[in-house]
Amino acid sequence: MSEKDLEREIAAIKARNSRVETDKAWETSWTRRICIMVLTYAVVVLYSTTISQISNPWLSSLIPVMGFLLSTLSLRLVRRLWEKRR
């Protein structure tokens, strides 16, 4: 393998690592969490006001959103425990 080939391979690995780091940062970002929460809330409110007969859809629609938020917060703890046992 020539020096030029090695340099290209190293550059490709660095580019891949950069993409992986960006993907990981996105997966754990609050921006992503908030977007999912807003979209979840909008869908549940829409469902609650059009299809079901819920008395206060604006308030009851917060339940799945809070469930999502709690799951993302608790998963960090679960992941740490999993990593220690691995």
At 44-77, the pLDDT tens digits run 999 888 887 788 888 989 999 999 998 888 887 8
| Mean per-residue pLDDT, 36-47 | 93
Token pair, residue 73, equals 């917060």
CA dihedral (10, 12, 18, 19) in degrees, to 10, reads: -160
pTM of the model: 0.71
* Among 53, 82, 48, 80, CA closest to 65: 48
